[in-house]
Structure 1
Amino acid sequence: MMSTVQGLAPVLLVIATGWGLTRSGIIPPMQRGGIEKLAYFVLFPCLIVGTLAGAELGALPWRALGATLFLSVVVMAGVCLLLKKPLQRRLRLDGPGFTSIFQGSTRWNTFIALALAGSLYGGEGLALIAVAMVAMIPVLNVMAVAVLAQNTGSTTPSLASLGREIARNPLIAACVVGLAAAGLGLGLDNVIGATLDIFGRGALGVGLLAVGMGLDLSALRRPRLAHWAGCALRLVLMPAVGLAFAMTFGLSGTALGAALIALAVPTAPASYLLARQMGGDAELMAELITLQTICAMLTLPLWIALVGAV
């Protein structure tokens, strides 16, 4: 438990620093978008390519990990859809409000997952989270867009446009490039590798600062039942479902820890942008992102400690 706290503490401190930089005015809120884009389009792709290219993929249980994460996402989405009417009635949600609960329950913050896996498990943890991206990001994007379109009256994008959007995702592209480099045995002990290493070193710090800059604590003076339900679904039920699948597929050690991290981190900041673009409840989405990030500071150590006990 103590090693878990020690691994998580730096992640939380950097997030808190990001929040403090915005609150103090050192970094104006208008600059947050540029910092997020720097991390999303440049730094994290470099980190992923460099990590995967140098990883011994044959030693990673990528099939069991991918199956665990994919099935966890599908089951969680199914639970949300089956409980749609009870959730709407009990939580007093309209269609757009339900989409925020759906996104908040299923999507994940890759910035925090990569930082925490790297802090706890080193390069192997980073490689496993990259595998998690391949397993989770495409299906999550398709499901989120479909649910938003169905519940907001917006136009459903074609499969071709969804495919193009996923293909343009820089994290997915980085995973493909890194996996290809590893599969072909292309060494990166050269200028390209050194360049990727320099960029990659800045990825985790800048990404976590961006997470902290996006927190708006003033919006959570009076959390509603919908907020707490969104936290429970994402931070408690999702990792519990994932743990059941992980045990079924025989995951253990670092792979089990990486799986639980991917399933127990708060929802993705990109959920807010999609909600705003497609007519979802963007305000509720922003509040869920903030509250889940805060609550995850308590739940993540418990899940990781449970993994250690298992």
Structure 2
Amino acid sequence: MDVVGRLLALLVVLLLGSGFRSSGILNGSRTQRLNAVAYYVALPALIFVSTFEQSIGALLSPALLVGLLVVLFATACLAWLVHRNRDSRARRSVAIVQSYHSNLGYLGLPLVAATFGPSVTAMASVVLGITTLTQLPMTILVLSTLNGTDVSIGRELRGLVTNPVLATLVVGLTVGSIGLAIPSPLTTGLEAVGSLALPVALLCVGASLEVDLPSVDVGATVTVVGLKIGWMPAFAWLVFSVLPVEPAAFTAAVVMLGTPTAVSTYVFASELGGDSEFASLNVFITTLSSVATLFVLITLVG
């Protein structure tokens, strides 16, 4: 029942965010400020407190790295095969990227931290780092190539280097590896700030959810949902059951890869010639559907 309560609370906060957007409480500028709090403050604090007592060697194993890459690239290839015959390149490109691009930062890591112990949360932080470094460039490449849009590779690489979430992960693992002592009042404060990551991020996601019913392509959307929150976590379960990873790594990887399509895919689709209305719909449907599928995943791995 504890898992049910957490996921119902997740759904309530999501719907609150959507309601606040509809009522004007969370307009564009306020949502941007809330996003900044989540992206630059709450999520980095959560990542640091989950990793600063862990060494890189204890968290990052070859098996974890290989497993994540296998699941990500296999799902991307399957998505390409499934969607390759769609008439619209703009819709095809979005369907492919939204079938594998997970919402790891705003939903995955905060949910893991609120549900599991410190060891799983630390592993989830590493999963976030590895997968982000892989799925983000791949999404930009797929969208820009299929839609024939120009993109500055240098700018995107600079964005990765200056990403506060990834930078904090590096700092936390470095501190843990060299055994640097952190004053307890500081860690207590960071833990308090990090605990805000889930509600703040969920409000941001909810405020970003939109759906345009006249543009619904049922077949395409059902396929995206099936691949993202059905196939991907199931395949991750299979892959990490075979690989020699610790239980904490298994749990973190399966739950993180079972998260819905990231809101950022809508932003990338809008900027790189994708079908933005289709992208928005898929984010909405996968996010709401994932409340049920994440319950099943968390129950099984828990």
What is the TM-score with the length of structure 2 in the denominator? Answer: 0.90
Moved more, 209-218 or 272-281: 209-218
Q: Helix, strand or coil: the match of 1:11?
A: helix
Cross-structure match for 1:274: 268
Count matched residues. 301
Cross-structure match for 2:181: 187
Q: Residue 200 of structure 2: which of 203, 206, 209 is its match? A: 206
1:170 CA displacement: 1.6
Q: Residue 114 of structure 2: which of 116, 119, 129 is its match? A: 119
Moved more, 132-141 or 64-73: 64-73
Distance in 2, matches of 1:307 and 1:74, equals 23
Cross-structure match for 2:135: 140
Report the CA distance shift for 1:219/1:63 in structure 2 as closer, same or farther (over 3 A). farther
Q: Helix, strand or coil: the match of 1:237?
A: helix
Q: Residue 215 of structure 1: which of 209, 214, 221 is its match? A: 209
Distance in 1, matches of 2:189 and 2:171, equals 15
Query: How far does the alpha carbon of each residue in 1:159-185 deviate from its partner, in whole angstroms, 9 at most, with x for none?
Result: x44432211222111111111111111
Q: Which runs of 5+ in 2 are unaligned?
A: none
1:7 CA displacement: 3.8
Q: Is the 8 A contact 1:53 1:187 kept in 2?
A: no
Residues 51-200 of structure 1 mapped to structure 2, 5 A cutoff: 51-55=50-54, 60=59, 62-86=61-85, 88=86, 93-109=87-103, 110-158=105-153, 160-190=154-184, 192-200=186-194
Query: How far does the alpha carbon of each residue in 1:113-154 deviate from its partner, in whole angstroms, 9 at most, with x for none?
Result: 112211221322321111111210111111111111111111
Cross-structure match for 2:21: 22
Report the CA distance shift for 1:97/1:121 in structure 2 as closer, same or farther (over 3 A). same
Distance in 2, matches of 1:219 and 1:211, equals 19
Q: Is the 8 A contact 2:55 2:174 kept in 1?
A: no
Residue identity matched to 2:107: I
Q: Helix, strand or coil: the match of 1:26?
A: coil
Cross-structure match for 1:237: 231
Moved more, 160-169 or 144-153: 160-169
Residue identity matched to 1:15: L
Distance in 1, matches of 2:23 and 2:232, equals 35
Moved more, 223-232 or 63-72: 63-72
Moved more, 253-262 or 18-27: 18-27
Distance in 2, matches of 1:146 and 1:222, equals 26
Q: Helix, strand or coil: the match of 2:44?
A: helix
1:60 CA displacement: 4.3
1:235 CA displacement: 0.7
Residues 251-266 of structure 1 mapped to structure 2, 5 A cutoff: 251=245, 253-266=247-260
Moved more, 56-65 or 174-183: 56-65
Q: Residue 290 of structure 1: which of 260, 265, 284 is its match? A: 284
Residue identity matched to 1:35: L
Q: Is the 8 A contact 2:68 2:253 kept in 1?
A: yes
Aligned CA-pair RMSD: 2.4
Moved more, 169-178 or 13-22: 13-22
Q: Residue 300 of structure 1: which of 285, 291, 294 is its match? A: 294
1:200 CA displacement: 1.7
What is the TM-score with the length of structure 1 in the denominator? Answer: 0.88
Cross-structure match for 1:4: 3
Report the CA distance shift for 1:166/1:18 in structure 2 as closer, same or farther (over 3 A). same
1:58 CA displacement: 5.5
Query: How far does the alpha carbon of each residue in 1:192-236 deviate from its partner, in whole angstroms, 9 at most, with x for none?
Result: 434433432322221111112122256489552111111011011
1:277 CA displacement: 1.2
1:41 CA displacement: 1.9
